[in-house]
Structure 1
Amino acid sequence: MNKTPLIEQLAIDGGEKAVTTTFPWPIYDEQDVEAVAHIVRSGQWGNPDCAGAVADFEQQFAKYCGTKYAISCVNGSVSLRLALIACGVRPGDEVIVPPYTFIATASVVLEVNCVPVFIDIDPDTYNLDPKAIEAAITERTKVIIPVHFAGLACDMDAILDIAHRYNLRVIEDAAHAHGAEYKGQKLGSIGDAGSFSFQSSKNLTSGEGGMVITNDDALYQIMNSLRNVGRLPEGQWYDHFNPGCNYRITQLQAVLLSEQLKRLNEQTRIRNENGLYLDSLLSELDGITPLSRGHVTIRHAYHLYIFRYDPTKFNQLPKQAFVAMLAAEGLPCSAGYPHPLYRQPVFQQKNWMCYAIPDAVDYSQVYCPVAERACADEAVWIFQQAMLGTRRDIESFADAIRKVQQAVNK
């Protein structure tokens, strides 16, 4: 690692930046442009038959993930919704979710007239804590949605063991986890279904889009019908067997995703290696604790690199001020979510607009201490595109943190 003296004056005060590389996203070349241009010239932009380039990409993605089926749709929120409906949830059923994730993980539960049940996250990984799941199960619990947050695999052995004992379905939210693995299996392929997002920030992107994968024939038939206005292969064009909508992606998105998929393995390898290297560097800094990668063999997608910040080692500097200083140093970073999901107005004000949630459900009484600490004081995110940098770039991230610490403790 570069041990040259750091610039004393912080960039936020007019000094030079510790991180001088910029990290563009998305990454593309002329092959991406030409693939999209070919579709434009063809005039076949849509996807009325779920065929052509869309079917090709679905087959490629299923093969990549090691599943029988992949069903594309308009976004990752819809992919979760398709999976929930296919898993047979009924109004008033309960679905276990973490409070430290994007709103869609819980809001789609409301959309299918079910009740999100928030349980706390593990303090070392920020993923759903298996030890808390069993206590939250009632006779109305039907599904567990483990989120592989930041691209880090949940403890799937423990979660599947609980699910099997209580006859629950498991839908993996893998929106951050393209290319990540757990004991040699691609994330998303381990539970009953796995949901992905191709939104613009994601490690595999076409601007928007989603995918749900499964090995279950029955789930596939239902999800495939739901995303295509309820049609079935044996029916006619205007035969609609299920209450689905048009959730299809376009040929333009499909060819772009096919090109982007060619880069995913190498990009995931780089992010994973850089994450391990950054772990080693930040572990030397007092007050900075990289999240654990768990206790089994994994490949981390590092949609986010997350570390825990201890303000007592930075002269009680609040997390938001610390992140502002790091950002000024050129580090692509964020303070993350300001509060856990159950504190969102939709839950606190009961604005869920569905009829099946009992009046007794009161999210103002929910309190998950680990998630609260992560939001308020601890969690700092480094964005995925930065994890594609060189080793010297990764060293400069540690330099930026050390520089801020030296300045505030001076």
Structure 2
Amino acid sequence: MNTLTSSTQLAIHGGEKTVTTSFPWPIFDEQEVQAVADVVRSGQWGNPDCAGLVAEFEQQFADYCGSKYAMTCANGSVSLRMAMIACGVKPGDEVIVPPYTFIATASIVLEVNCVPVFVDIEPDTYNLDPTAIEAAITERTKAIIPVHFAGLPCNMDAIMDIARRHNLRVIEDAAHAHGAEYKGRKLGSIGDVGSFSFQSSKNLNSGEGGIVITNDDALYETMNSLRNVGRLPHGQWYDHFNPGCNYRITQLQAVLLSQQLKRLDEQTITRDENGIYLDSLLADINGITPLSRGNVAIRHSHHLYIFKYDKSEFGDTSKADFVAMLAAEGVPCSGGYPHPLYKQPVFQQKNWMCYAIPESVDYSQTYCPVAERACSDEAVWIFQFAMLGTRSDMESFAEAIRKIQRTVNK
């Protein structure tokens, strides 16, 4: 349990921290240790047949998400790449992506010799803005990759409507969204393919790894072949029908994920409830605006809790200085991305090493104002493990912000 301090001096200047709770991650006990130890003792560590414990976890995750198929792979970047190839994109095709997300969402588009087209985000959710998608569609557009950023569901009704009218594939990037829901459906299960990451910071993790889910038989067969060096079920061991690689995970990862999956629902509910409570607390602080949950039924997985910061209510303190003060007060936080994806050197310097992208593509001319503001001035992240704390912890996060505001406005 956290105890609020009465110190008026900021911790960054030597005062007492407002937040004294620690937030361990990952969370595990002897069940995980024993399950992994049993696999170690068995000597069956690998997964050459894509069977055994790996197949068991895949079925568990498919059932959890309400999808027909789930297929594990090396990481969340590979899962996106395989989904794109299976969806039939060709060199030079355009793929719509948001500029406010991890690099992999756009870099895998380059990897398959396609052109990322950056469409701005909504100012109240930081998710891909459906009202801007249609204007970005051309005859070369083949897919949309909506990112459920921080675990907040995108407006999937609008995105799916646009995609179906324009005959586009939808690949949900749900790397932040394990357990999150949109109108009663698990994220990842709404588009043609859903992609998840099991990297160590993620809400469901095994250190590294990824998974794709789909209800489409043909997409599953292709992705399953791609992750297993191009093999097909009817072929021989050394028959390779597609240009795939070994993207398999191990039995050790699978059994760890099976154990962690048992915790996911309870943890997701805790994060979501804490997020709603923290929204109510921060809404009363001038200059702090929680992101909107929209007007439909959702469950937010809060891989990140994000609020918008207005320095004019904090003595013109820069976002970077505010985040440093907040972290010193004991809140696990970050200012997020320093700039939108299109400003990364790989795009600005055309270091994409792809033969199919026209020379006319010039990301130096790309400008998404909402993403720019989020990166430079507004967005502050609180990490997912902190959202597993108590209501008292949420109160202490809010008090840390109020303490900073009182101090800088003196």
Question: Normalised by the size of structure 1, how large is the TM-score?
Answer: 0.99
Matching residue's letter, 1:341: L
Tell me by how many angstroms 1:4 deviates.
7.4
Alpha-carbon RMSD across the aligned residues, in angstroms, is 1.0
Distance (whole Å) between structure 2 residues aligned to residue 243 and residue 232 of structure 1: 12
Q: How does 1:275-290 map to 2 (within 5 A)?
A: 275-290=275-290
Match of 1:85, SS state, is: helix
Change (3 A) 1:3 1:283: farther
Q: Secondary structure at the match of 1:172?
A: strand
What's 2:188 paired with?
A: 188
Deviation of residue 6 (structure 1)?
Answer: 4.0
Contact kept, 8 Å, 1:6 with 1:403, in 2: the verdict is: no
**1:227–1:246 contact (8 Å) kept in structure 2:** yes
**What SS is found at the alignment partner of 1:143?**
strand
Q: Give the Cα–Cα distance (whole angstroms) in 2 for the partners of residues 316 and 10 of structure 1.
A: 17
Distance 1:170 1:8 in 2: 51
- How far is the alpha carbon of 1:3 from its aligned partner? 12
- The one-letter code of the counterpart of 1:178 is H
Say yes or no: does 1:170 pair with 2:199: no
Q: Give distance in 2, aligned partners of 1:294 and 1:334.
A: 24
Write out per-residue CA displacement over residues 118-163 of structure 1, whole angstroms, 9 at most, x where no aligned residue: 0100000000000000000000000000000000000000000000
Q: Distance in 1 between matches of 2:205 and 2:407?
A: 38
Corresponding residue of 1:252: 252
Structure 2 counterpart of 1:265: 265
SS at match of 1:239: coil
Q: Distance in 2 between matches of 1:296 and 1:144?
A: 22
Aligned to 2:98: 98
C-alpha spacing 1:104/1:229, structure 2 compared with 1 (3 Å): same
Determine the structure 1 residue equivalent to 2:133.
133
Q: What is the alpha-carbon distance in structure 2 between the residues aligned to residue 338 and residue 295 of structure 1?
A: 30
Give yes or no for contact 2:3–2:20 (8 Å, CA) kept in 1: no
Matched, 1:356 2:393: no
Secondary structure of the residue aligned to 2:70 is strand
Q: What does 1:107-118 correspond to in 2, within 5 Å?
A: 107-118=107-118
Q: 1:29: how far off?
A: 0.3
Contact kept, 8 Å, 1:290 with 1:306, in 2: the verdict is yes
Contact 2:3–2:19 under 8 Å retained in 1: no
Partner of 1:143: 143
Deviation at 1:66, TM superposition (A): 0.2
- Please state whether the residue corresponding to 1:243 is helix, strand or coil: coil
- Tell me the amino acid that sits aligned with residue 220 of structure 2: Y
Amino acid corresponding to residue 228 of structure 2 in structure 1: N
Give the AA of the match of 2:305: Y
Query: Contact 2:76 / 2:175 at 8 angstroms: preserved in 1?
Result: yes
Residue 5 of structure 1: CA displacement? Answer: 7.7
Match of 1:293 in 2: 293
What letter corresponds to residue 37 of structure 1 in structure 2? A
**1:319 aligns to what?**
319
Q: Structure 1 residue 7: deviation in Å?
A: 2.0
2-side partners of 1:5 and 1:284: how far apart?
A: 20
State the TM-score, normalizing by the size of structure 2: 0.99
Counterparts of 1:317-396 in structure 2 under 5 Å? 317-396=317-396
- Equivalences for residues 14-163 of structure 1 within 5 A: 14-163=14-163
Name the aligned partner's letter for residue 217 of structure 1: D
Q: Which runs of 5+ in 2 are unaligned?
A: none
Q: Is the 8 A contact 2:5 2:17 kept in 1?
A: no
CA distance in structure 2 between the partners assigned to 1:65 and 1:230 by the alignment: 26
Q: How far apart are the structure 2 equivalents of 1:230 and 1:3?
A: 57
> Hey, what's the Cα distance between the residues in 2 that align with 1:392 and 1:264?
22
- What stretches of structure 1 of length at least 5 have no aligned partner? none
Letter in 2 for 1:243: P
Q: Distance in 2 between matches of 1:7 and 1:173?
A: 43
Per-residue deviation, 1:295: 1.3
1:131 aligned partner, one-letter code: T
Deviations 1:339-369 (A, max 9, x none): 0000000000000011000000000000000
In 2 relative to 1, CA 22–362 (structure 1 residues): closer, same or farther, beyond 3 Å?
same
Q: How many aligned residue pairs are there?
A: 409
Q: Which residue of 1 aligns with 2:406?
A: 406
Which one-letter code corresponds to 1:36 in the other structure?
V
Aligned-pair CA distance for 1:277: 0.0
AA paired with 1:184? G
Matches of 1:128 and 1:29, distance apart in 2: 38
**Identity within the alignment, %:** 81
Query: Are 1:200 and 2:200 an aligned pair?
Result: yes
Question: Which residue number in structure 1 is paired with residue 179 of structure 2?
Answer: 179
Change (3 A) 1:121 1:43: same
2:117 aligns to what SS in structure 1?
strand
